[in-house]
Structure 1
Amino acid sequence: MTGDYHILAPIYNQIGMGNFAREITPALIEFAQQNDWLGRHILDLGCGTGDALIWLAKHNYRVTALDNSQAMLNEAKTGLTTQGLDTRLIEMDIREIDREQIGSGDLVLALDVINEMRSVREIEAVLENIHQMLEPGKWCIFDMHTLEGLSRRGGNPASIIYDDPEQLTVLQSNHNNYEHHEYTAEYLIFRREDGHWRRYLARRVLRTIPVQAMQKLLQRKGFALKFMLNTNLQPIDTVSVGTERIILIATKS
């Protein structure tokens, strides 16, 4: 993963970085059930601070959650404990999953993950691992920023994205590398700790590939694309102008 998550973890939820996963997970599970998905064991890849898995655990799903950042997992554990929940948290790079340790699931959920991969080869590695963890016919669901989506993000001016004069101020600047389909967010963080203000710098890099290329990768790695959705969970056949993010649902062939 390409981000300073040991720095971002303590403020990740506070500044809204987990909002997408938290808000869309209930709707995704409802959509899956309405379209004949059945299962109880969900593998949450790149679980971060637990924005999806906390809702899943509350609704009695058995969740195995993976992330390669111990700092993010610590935040997830705190969130689970606060709500009296427990689930299996594992520090592991999703590009190099130990299949025997993880086992198989009825659904793989990977939100805010694919755009963190640094190359097509890394995306392939993740898809290969997902394929091994699913039985035929079982689902994987992941989101993806489009080329236009990342371009628009990079075009946003620098701004203060969080401002609590007593505790925390975060400034964000955005940069595009059009040649490599890459977007970088840089965070200047002023955080009050033990009565003193501390200054941190953090970066998060997202990359993408054309949607058609992703569709071909899925097919090549043994998946059948079942649905392509916009973020309102409306099925779409092609990515039209203005589509900044999509959700892909595929089944193991």
Structure 2
Amino acid sequence: MKMENILIEKLDNIAIITINRPEKLNALNKATILDLHEGFKSLDDDKSIKVIIITGSGEKAFVAGADISEFAHFSEEDGGKLAAKGQELLFDFVQNLSTPVIAAVNGFALGGGLELAMACHFRVASDNARMGLPEVTLGVIPGYGGTQRLSQLVGKGRAMEMIMTAGMIDAQTALNYGLVNHVVPQAELLDLAKGIAAKITKNSSTAISKAIQAINANFEDGVNGYEVEIKNFGASFGTEDFKEGTTAFLEKRKADFK
């Protein structure tokens, strides 16, 4: 599968998606969002892939924002459709993907770039990373889930301040806020992400998928996360991975999940 705006590399059970628009600091446009949707979908359908890492090309940016030229003249109706379609195709899609997704934030993650990183299951960052939601400087608000996910990750007060001031935070502040899990020098970023991914690949992909569903349920209106956890816990007992995992434990050997 050849796509203009992203590169996909497979390393055994791990796939790396690189957003490849360095001349635009990897800004998201409609074509890139569509490429990312197709890339994530194809990797999620590939049962040999157990973890996906997403990063940006070059040394300056993960994703420096959205391509403003595409929507500068939109009407109210057009703007609503843009947000709804983007969330459906990419941001909500990634959050609910059954395959774990790690964002390796290698520079600026602004606007839609930070929203994409926040849609991933967790984030690691290089020490030169800068993150923010500057949309109010354009007379608009974050439209790809930023107002919701930022407050979930860093708390209401910090999200209010970041969005209202349109300010950027550095990688260490993002770590202190809980927005990212780890910060390392840029040269070590992908190795860190691969190392975490390698640990994940040793575990049951079936169980991980059910855990993602249960964790996400806690943040959905009208959904009882505890009930989803109970349902998915019970469903795990009917899987081959449960049989292998418990048998391996009792036999004092490492599980070999297929």
Fold match by TM threshold 0.5: no
Q: Which structure has the highest helix share of the two? A: 2
